[in-house]
Amino acid sequence: MLHLTFSNRVESFVALLDEHIGEARRRGAGLYQRIDVVSPSGPLNGYIELALASRAGVCANINITFLNSFLRGLLGPRLASEGVKLLERTHVQTLIRERLSDTNWLAHDDFEALRAYIETANDEDGRDVRRFQLSARLATLFEEYEYSRAEMLEAWSREASFFDEAKRSEGWQRRLWRGVEQDARALNLMSMTACFAREPVQLDAPLHIFGFAHLSPAVTKIIARLAGTNEVYLWMLQPAAVILDNRVLRYQADVHPAHRQWGKLSVDTLGVLNAYAAELLTPPVNLFDAPTATAALLTSVQSELSAKPMASVPSGDRSIEFLACSGIQREVEVVANAIWQRVVAAEGKLHFHDFGVVVAGRDAQEYVAQIESVFQDFHDLPYNITGIASDSSGRIIDALRMLVALPFGRFHRGEMMGLLTHPNIGGHLAVGELESWVEWCDKLNIISGAERPSAKTSYLSKDLHNWSQGIKRLTLGSFLSSERSGLREIFEIEDDSYIVEEISSADMVHAARMSVLARSLIRDAQWLLTERFTLTQWAEVFEALVATYLAPAADNDDDVSADRKQIGRCKHIIAQIAGQDLSGQRVSYRTASLTLLAALDGVDTRARRPLTHGIAVGTAQALRALPFAFVYMLGMGEGEFPATNPTNPLDLRQDGSPLTGDVYPNARDRQAFLDLLLCSRQALTMSWVARDAATGANREPSSLVKELQALLAGHVPATRHMALRRYEIADTSGNYHPEALIEARMQAIGDSLRAFVRDKNTDMPSAATLRRHLQQRDEKLGGLLRLPVPPTSLATLAQAAATEPRRVSVTIAQLRSFLESPLQGAASFKLKMQRDEDDPLAVEHERFAPGPMDNTVFLRKVFAKALEQPLDRVDDSRLAALYDELLLPWHELGGALPTGIFLDATRAEHLKVLKTWHKNARWWADQKMWKTSEKIVTTRLACVDVEGERTLPPLEIAIVLTSRDGVDEQVIVEISGKCDLVFESSIMLCVTKAFASPKYLLRAWLSHLVLAACDVLETGERGGYLILNINSCWTPRRTEYQSNNSRKLTPLSSADARQSLGVILTDFLGKAHGYLLPIELVSDYLDSPNQESFDAPNWISDELDKDWQSLSDRFGPIKNYFDYFAPADWQKMIEQRFEHHPDFVAEPMP
């Protein structure tokens, strides 16, 4: 018989369940007889076990499991004795995939749409992907048909149509189902519903089915089949009492509209029971509390749903709350604070497992990430996540996924290095070994590809960019010398040329390990794509891959143990793949890999802990039947929860009206919401993000929130809009976040200090001054503000530091960036940003053209060499010879220059620029502006010599920096970096652009200033600087234009240059630069004939209004540069910084 018990409180079931179990044992089941209890979720299984154990002291010989697991275990031995296997969904997928691979069977006219879909792929590999994906979707769909449309499948088995023949895809689905059914019968595979339909099954003890809110028709049939010969107890959550009237289940009173709106599935379940188990039903037991005159709002709502009058609600009731938050992090912070506040107020009467946090929003992973972070910061709140798959399945499974996917890639640098440096594949790397591997990969210019491609498929004429050439060069570097030892030679192997990457003896083991592992991964990946095996054989191959490459990381014992467990889990999953090998059909590696990856999807390696371990965090489905004192539903925004019903063009059920027992996402979420409402004991809080993160626009709450608010008409509590930031809570006594409390106190003190400074009309003291005075004045106050106190052991060092000047390193490029844009240059210096911060692992393609910086460096190097010879002896052929001698093939093989046709184009463009520079240089010489006999003085300031360059030591400038409170600090600034071509009496600036912008004028002038300060010449003077740009080739008609590309440099002594640099450096390092003063403005001002009427603010405003801005302020870490303005003393700044600028002195060269 089928015994029914209904209640709106799952706790009410436990006492009666315990009585039934005890009665069964007394009637003959015995103490050692197993009692089976099945439920729909793991958390509910845990709750049942804990609840029964709390009553009897132990939960012994009670098997609490899932319904499907119980039914499989019940049928397993019986089917095995008959040589029959249970038909699983993975079996159905395999049978469908095999049918889709049979081109003869697929030639039927009914399969025209399927053939078109599969054949659309470009190759067999793509067709394998489509077959696998389609078979997975159809297997899931057929399984759902079995549970909700059994009549349709029965009609198909009779080769009859269930719908009209004009239905979309019934024809080919019916024929496909018939084929799968025939194959399953031939393989002795039988579905679960067919197994239970054959003959009754006798159980040794009563069966208890606990906590289901709805049952599908197929499951109800199975339960009815069991209840026909056994005692089956069905414990179901219902908001209202149910009675048996003339063998028909119905609600004792009229169904509440909200119940019908939210609990359609629970209402439908009564209809399903009436349809398939009416003859087995006994009068149900209803366990509902009697109504009270006065109750909390939450309790009153629960009573109203059970068709009882709503009790009066006391004023100020907060058992149901609605919270609007500014973002996900803020939403989690609000909930964490509320939980801590309730626990503190309860004084030990509440525990963390009394709280349930439901992640209802679609961004479950983002919510989990915030919960993990916020809960840890918030007094390390304990929690237990269930029902939400981890964003990462663990590093072992992640490594296995990378291994499986490798054959389908291009052996890209990022793909391979991700595997080579993975702790469970490459092993535990020594200190610095990871950096060495990445550095070698970059130096060897490994981009992608296992080996050199054929000439038919690639433009490459040399062995470049692939792993094979990189490993060869690294191997040669173990016993050959190269540039590192001062030998710049190219090694020839047959018809290929290589640059040897010399390595030290200490790095030989590391290099060998990298080479062997890379070659092994590549060879195995290439082999996998060439084979076709059965799934059983592929399982053996995957096991071999795991054994060969995966190993526990040697970090600590806990990590090793966790890794071993994950490796064991991987082997178990791989072994299950062999169970899908039904007919011994050979499949490609693509199909086998998709099968394994599908089995790995959804694997959650997060540690499972009992419900008593902290706050329960999970989805609405995972926590739906669990009783909590306080329930918090996060992510209750519009469109987030409940889910919308997806449109599936393959699903025949969507062609008509839903039938009783159909389960769709929207109805499922609504039922979960109703169950959570019923299982909340003291308070239910719903929160959502009420502000769009991108636009700031308001966002509405979920439709369920609005429906509940409509139900609470007259009692609905106002939505509380939470503070934008965690420290902005007006009542700090209710704010328990440790960091928020400090932030709130500091904010209040800061507001008070700013008000004081404003009232007294004085300057804000510096942070150092505040810290020093607060610590000296009141140690208690300093401790309250968490001000850092220097350790006493550092007192001697601090005193020594006060007597010795601080040393600061500044490059010429950093100084130039500051003068180009004080806003961006100062910010970049403070943030220690470099001009080239590209991640070497993020490089995706070889170079098709050198970058602008490389262009300039390469061409200046060739041109400087050409200038060492008389100009009249350097013709076009000589320039080409110097280019090839200095740059080729060295920089081509090293990857700095492109190769093949791209090198030919680059070389032609470079030679064009060099020829233009050469013609301009001859013109400068003819105009007596430059002496061809002059030698290059220097090209770089550096601490060490740079090969091929004339190097001077860094320039040291002593300055004094004054803090806001008037404290002076001695600082020595070391200036180093690249200069332009500096001759004995002039500076030559070679430009690859078509025009000379103010940036280039600044560049040459700064080189002049630095070199004058170095005092490398006796007079410290320069005659001028000359700009060679590619659009200013001399003709008799362009004399005026050409003269604009020259400037007479102001004669400077070393002392004057050092003083000028000192002024610039003091300004750069000693002040804040939150303003716009770009070099373009400076240049226009210096060139202006009427400087007194020059209006910098209007100039900037006009530039910002242009569609295309050429301001130097556009580039840098400050993205909202347009929010800044010109400084009030802009003219004074220009005069101080550019005192010796040639435009300022207005002395053009003749």
Is the pLDDT at 918 greater than 60? The verdict is: yes
Instruction: State pLDDT tens for residues 919-960.
Output: 888 887 887 777 777 777 666 676 544 455 567 788 999 999
Find the range with the poorest average confidence among 100-109, 329-338, 595-604, 887-896. 595-604
What does the alpha-carbon distance between residue 980 and residue 994 come to, in Å, rounded to a whole number?
18
Which pLDDT score is estimated for 878? 93
Which pLDDT score is estimated for 1146? 35
Which pLDDT score is estimated for 527? 96
Which pLDDT score is estimated for 834? 65
Which pLDDT score is estimated for 310? 62
For residues 238-257, average pLDDT: 89
Q: What is the pTM of this model?
A: 0.80
Which pLDDT score is estimated for 336? 92
Q: Give the CA distances from residue 605 to residues 251, 517, 931, in Å, rounded to whole numbers and listed in that order.
A: 43, 28, 75
Find the range with the poorest average confidence among 132-136, 637-641, 1141-1145. 1141-1145
Which pLDDT score is estimated for 557? 67
Cβ(1074)–Cβ(823) under 8 Å? Answer: yes
Is the pLDDT at 264 greater than 60? The verdict is: yes
Q: What are the backbone angles phi and psi of residue 117, rounded to the nearest 5°? A: -65, -45
Which pLDDT score is estimated for 798? 47
Is the pLDDT at 224 greater than 50? The verdict is: yes
Q: How confident is the model at residue 1039 (pLDDT cuts 50, 70, 90)?
A: very low
Which pLDDT score is estimated for 1041? 38
Task: Tell me the sheet residues that pair with 962.
Answer: 968
Q: How far apart are the first and last CA of the chain?
A: 114
Which pLDDT score is estimated for 925? 81
Q: Which CATH number fits domain 2-80+200-287: 1.20.1340.10, 2.40.50.140, 3.40.50.10930, 3.90.1170.40?
A: 3.40.50.10930
Do 2-80+200-287 and 319-380+617-722 fold alike per CATH? yes
Pairing of strands 955-962, 968-983: antiparallel
Cβ(615)–Cβ(634) under 8 Å? Answer: no
Which pLDDT score is estimated for 1036? 38
Instruction: State pLDDT tens for residues 300-357.
Output: 888 888 777 666 677 778 889 999 998 999 999 999 999 998 998 888 889 999 999 9
Which pLDDT score is estimated for 851? 80
Instruction: State pLDDT tens for residues 875-895.
Output: 999 999 999 999 998 888 888
Domain 319-380+617-722 has what CATH class?
alpha beta
Which pLDDT score is estimated for 991? 78
Residue with tokens 């709280």: 355
Which pLDDT score is estimated for 919? 85
Q: What are the backbone angles phi and psi of residue 673, rounded to the nearest 5°? A: -65, -45
Q: Which residues contact 958 (CB under 8 A, 6 or more apart)?
A: 805, 970, 971, 972, 973, 1062
What share of the chain in percent tops pLDDT 90?
32
What does the alpha-carbon distance between residue 1121 and residue 1100 come to, in Å, rounded to a whole number?
11
Q: How confident is the model at residue 732 (pLDDT cuts 50, 70, 90)?
A: low
Is the pLDDT at 193 greater than 80? The verdict is: yes
For residues 218-245, average pLDDT: 91
Q: Which CATH number fits domain 88-190: 1.10.3210.10, 3.30.750.200, 1.10.10.160, 3.30.465.10?
A: 1.10.10.160
User: How many CB atoms neighbour CB 963 within 10 A?
Assistant: 14
Is the pLDDT at 292 greater than 70? The verdict is: no
Which pLDDT score is estimated for 393? 66
Q: How confident is the model at residue 363 (pLDDT cuts 50, 70, 90)?
A: confident
User: What architecture is domain 395-600?
Assistant: Orthogonal Bundle (1.10)
Q: How confident is the model at residue 810 (pLDDT cuts 50, 70, 90)?
A: very high
For residue 538, which amino acid is it? W
Is the pLDDT at 792 greater than 60? The verdict is: no
Long-range pairs of 751-757 with CB within 8 A, sequence gap ≥ 24? none
Q: How confident is the model at residue 1033 (pLDDT cuts 50, 70, 90)?
A: very low
What does the alpha-carbon distance between residue 1139 and residue 578 come to, in Å, rounded to a whole number?
82
Per domain, the residue ranges of the chain are 2-80+200-287, 88-190, 319-380+617-722, 395-600, 736-788, 811-845+927-1145
For residues 527-556, average pLDDT: 90
For residues 445-450, average pLDDT: 91
What does the alpha-carbon distance between residue 761 and residue 1108 come to, in Å, rounded to a whole number?
42
Cβ(148)–Cβ(662) under 8 Å? Answer: yes
- Dihedral of CA atoms 1076, 1081, 1082, 1083 in degrees, nearest 10, equals 150
Is the pLDDT at 212 greater than 60? The verdict is: yes
